[in-house]
Structure 1
Amino acid sequence: MAEQREPRGRAATAVSSPPPVEGPEEAAGRACRCITGLTGHPAEGVSAISRSEDGWHVDVDVLEVPRIPDTTSLLATYEVELDRDGELLRYRRVRRYRRGAADD
């Protein structure tokens, strides 16, 4: 049998950093994936995004309790903070509301 070898110049356990977030669309996508993975609830969309010195602040709207009719479903807004590389620093739920309710 032929012996398989690692190509020269490559470390067996090379770990590379993720590339920095390129713009607001990518930051929003990463924030949505993080919240969906952590809460188990699907992201409905992004209601706010801003760049900071350390990365990104993203408000993600999530469907927490689907109901019929849809206007009575419960949604929540999560504030997500990402570093420059798009890694999650923190998140917290800041609001919970009915889909059909008007803002105060």
Structure 2
Amino acid sequence: MAVAGERRTSRKAPAELSAPDAAETALGHISSLTGRELIGATSVEPTDDGWRVGVEVIEERRIPSTSDLLAQYEVDLDLTGELLAYRRARRYVRGRTDAGNGIA
């Protein structure tokens, strides 16, 4: 029973993020945390707790640009876009391919 003058508020569960929204949210988190120039999201996959997003950034600009130092970050978000964790998964030179991947 409501008391006179008491405001009733309903607690709605926050909307869950779509994959594109999760990617955009992860980019924002990495930008603010690292201050690095973003290249973009490279992967988005659902997890039990939300989303894991791969984000590629420029760690260090070099001349020529094919020798820029890049990094791949993994960002874990909950279903509402809150940051759970992030980590730099690897660093690499832009002009080099992964070893053993068959790409020349």
Give the alignment's TM-score, normalised by structure 1: 0.79
Q: Give the aligned partner of residue 42 of structure 2.
A: 47
Alignment pair present for 1:99 and 2:94: yes
Structure 1: gaps of 5 or more residues: 1-8
Per-residue CA distance 1:10-46 (angstroms, 9 max, x = gap): x9xxxx975421x211100100110010000021012
Q: Give the aligned partner of residue 52 of structure 2.
A: 57
Aligned equivalent of 2:28, options 14, 28, 33: 33
Going from structure 1 to structure 2, the CA distance change for 1:17 and 1:67 (only over 3 Å counts) comes to: farther
For the residue of structure 1 that corresponds to 2:52, the secondary structure is: strand
Identity %: 46
For the residue of structure 1 that corresponds to 2:77, the secondary structure is: strand
1-structure distance, mates of 2:51, 2:72: 16
Structure 2: gaps of 5 or more residues: 1-6, 100-104
Tell me how many residue pairs correspond in the alignment: 92
Q: Which portions of structure 1, spanning 4 or more consecutive aligned residues, are displaced by more than 4 angstroms?
A: none
Per-residue CA distance 1:50-98 (angstroms, 9 max, x = gap): 0112100011001110112110100000010000001100000010000
Aligned equivalent of 1:20, options 16, 19, 22: 16
For the residue of structure 2 that corresponds to 1:49, the secondary structure is: strand
Going from structure 1 to structure 2, the CA distance change for 1:17 and 1:34 (only over 3 Å counts) comes to: farther
Amino acid in the other structure paired with 1:82: L
